[in-house]
A and B are shown apart, each in its own frame.
Chain A
Amino acid sequence: MSATDGRHLRVEALARIEGEGALDVVVRDGVVESASLQIYEPPRFFEALLRGRQHTEAPDITARICGICPVAYQTSAWLAVEDACGVTPDARIAALRRLLYCGEWISSHALHIYLLHAPDFLGYDDVLGLAADHRSKVERGLRIKKAGNAVLERVGGRAVHPVNPRLGGFHRAPTRGELAPLAEQLRRALDDALATVWWVATFDFPELELPHELLALHRPDVYAIEAGSLLSSGGLAFTARDFSEHVVEHQVPHSTALQATLDGQRYLTGPLARYTISSGLLSETARQAAADAGLGATCRNPFRSIVVRAVELVYVVEEALRLIAEYERPDPPAAEVPPVAGVGHGVSEAPRGLLYHRYEIDADGRILSAVIVPPTSQNQAAIEADLAEVVSAHLDLDDAALTSLCERTIRNYDPCISCSTHFLRLSMDRR
């Protein structure tokens, strides 16, 4: 088919993303008629099965929504339940939680940069092909990832679905001596992360400028990860408690799509949003690395998200080192969280964007209702709009090249479909 006749680009099973998705683009008379990221991941009904469970179980159960970002789920869950119960664990527990979350960011960002995303820029099918020609680079990525997992294991007890965190804090807080060996590994990871920024900055980036509103957590003191309130690039500010008043999921007529909008507008969460809103709060090392890589104070080109992730990687490695250096062992390791009837809200920055939880519990701690809004469902509308824009700008490419560019466009967002199955457009079509 020629560009004027109409073209149908389709990838049945997207590779190097978390979960199962397809992409489908239809072009007619040189105009993009539709561009969709379709989801065929089977639903697992977490919001339904959480009802009747005890409030203390929410972190362990919701961790199982995503094997890549279980700490994000645990964090948003305990924030929401603790909000409902009116409990705020002390600063030492908060610091240990931030360290745990840094571990997840290090591991997840290293996974995405080296194993999922870099092969796109260098023309490989996967990290194994990349390693055949650039073994030392891949070894560097694996070292960083291993350092992140070491933090998760030392603080959380396990890298995937950590066992040590609990509502109120931790079952057992590590001693200073137990955390010390992590610092050595992280110092090496800091050098590796800086080298990562310089490496990815040399990649070629297609031009694309996102027009969307950007939404991220923000705190005045540090780059927001495990807590904060919401701030948009347009200056809209609100707390987790008002999340559902601003972020609304609409049913699109004649479709199963639920598209999240921010005050009626399409919006984007994730690294570009965080960086654009809070780049001034990054450490000096991370800001210098960003400047060296050619990033300004904001970044709206999704193809450059790999550079932003690398800069964030520098930041979280350094932040983990700071938290370990300043660590004071919380005693007791957890605050008691007796149930109080009511509603609680929690939002944190998963590596790929905002993750919101809301629970209603009764006086005995039974969960009466649960709402979970994962990052990729918030980003889906923006991803599809960018897909349409990228296709429009590159209609001169043949189908194979254009399809490959579409896949890259989707991978820019590090979509996590296992997480997002609850809300994304479902398509069982496997033509």
Chain B
Amino acid sequence: MSALPTLAVWKFASCDGCQLTLLDCEDELLTLAGEVRVAHFLEASSAVLPGPYDLSLVEGSISTAAGAARIREVRAQSKFLVTVGACATSGGIQALRNFADVEEYRSVVYPHPEYVESLATSTPISAHVPVDLELRGCPIDGGQLLEVISAFLAGRRPDVPDTSVCTECKRRGLTCVMVAAGTACLGPITHAGCGALCPAVDRGCYGCFGPMTGANVPAMVTLLRAGGMTSRSVDLVLSTFTVAAPPYAERRSKG
């Protein structure tokens, strides 16, 4: 038993959807349980084992001082730390506060805002501690998660390509919604991993995996504007689940 590597799952500010993606691997869950020792996974288990942990999966963003302290403890206890999902890798949609007045946000939601502790920003885990691997998505893709865990167990690099959704869309043989139907689509700048879910239902990609490395945002904006989107609509579509990802945040700060 003790020879099995230990797995820990941690939650910060998030919706639980990325943790759930692990539990949604119905066909693999019991097999996985034979390959790792689940040492800390509060959503699934009352049993909590002390660290250190071989593999930590971290969901959620850092939005409180307590969270900022806790992620350092998690890092210190984790040999290999993987952040999962848009909140953990870019701050999530709650990072919209980074561009607003958090005091005002607090007063809108809570009658007694002075009791609510939160930082002015929602930031990714990598802004606080070194991260060994980031898995994108709002939520993450279950297949990619299993690939990361399998690769870890096998001691190899995981195959999670940093290309665009367009590459997956072409591979599926889908008709380009932008070319064929004039539908606005963030596929050309969005990180791959979902398998082109939106074009498969005649919808343009709405960017829930965030910008890929080297995304040409200005060219995308020109294309969206040429397709008839107002500048406000373009701003909104680039200000959702990965609003604080650098290419989008920089664009906002330039106004």
- A interface residue numbers (CB < 8 A to B): 13-20, 40-49, 51, 53-54, 57, 60-61, 64-68, 70, 107, 111, 115-116, 119, 125-129, 131, 135, 138-139, 142-143, 145-146, 149, 157-161, 163-164, 166, 170-172, 251, 256, 258, 407, 418, 422, 426, 428, 430
Judge if B64 is at the interface, Cβ distance under 8 Å. yes
| Interchain CB contact under 8 A, A164 and B203 | yes
Judge if B153 is at the interface, Cβ distance under 8 Å. no
Judge if B132 is at the interface, Cβ distance under 8 Å. no
Do A44 and B63 form a contact, CB below 8 Å, given A53-B236, A57-B236?
A: yes
What is the CA–CA distance of A256 and B115 in the complex, to the nearest angstrom? 7
Closest 6 CB pairs of A and B: A67-B17, A126-B45, A125-B47, A48-B105, A256-B115, A171-B203
| Interchain CB contact under 8 A, B46 and A15 | yes
| Interchain CB contact under 8 A, A157 and B198 | yes
Judge if B96 is at the interface, Cβ distance under 8 Å. yes
Contact of A258 among B15, B41, B47, B111 (CB under 8 A): B111
Q: How far is the CB of A170 from chain B (nearest CB, A)?
A: 8
Report which residue of A45, A51, A61, A166 has the largest number of chain B beta carbons within 10 angstroms of its beta carbon.
A45
Inside 8 A of A53's CB, which chain B residues have their CB?
236
Q: How far is the CB of B26 from chain A (nearest CB, A)?
A: 4
Judge if B208 is at the interface, Cβ distance under 8 Å. yes
Q: How far is the CB of B5 from chain A (nearest CB, A)?
A: 15
19 A-B contacts, Cβ less than 8 Å apart?
A13-B42, A15-B45, A15-B46, A16-B46, A17-B43, A43-B110, A43-B118, A44-B94, A45-B94, A45-B109, A48-B108, A48-B109, A66-B16, A119-B46, A126-B41, A158-B197, A160-B20, A161-B138, A163-B201
| Interchain CB contact under 8 A, A64 and B46 | no
Report which residue of A44, A68, A171 has the largest number of chain B beta carbons within 10 angstroms of its beta carbon.
A44
What is the CA–CA distance of A251 and B114 in the complex, to the nearest angstrom? 14
| Interchain CB contact under 8 A, B109 and A43 | yes
Interface size class of B (residues with CB under 8 A): 35 or more
Judge if B44 is at the interface, Cβ distance under 8 Å. yes
- B interface residue numbers (CB < 8 A to A): 11-21, 23-24, 26-27, 29-30, 33, 38, 41-48, 63-64, 66-67, 92-94, 96-97, 100, 102, 104-106, 108-112, 115-118, 122, 138-139, 194, 197-198, 200-203, 206, 208, 233, 236, 240-241
Contact of A49 among B43, B67, B93, B197 (CB under 8 A): B93
| Interchain CB contact under 8 A, A128 and B38 | yes
| Interchain CB contact under 8 A, A426 and B116 | yes
Inside 8 A of A70's CB, which chain B residues have their CB?
15, 17
Q: How far is the CB of B230 from chain A (nearest CB, A)?
A: 10
Inside 8 A of A157's CB, which chain B residues have their CB?
197-198, 200-201
Contact of A61 among B17, B46, B201, B240 (CB under 8 A): B240
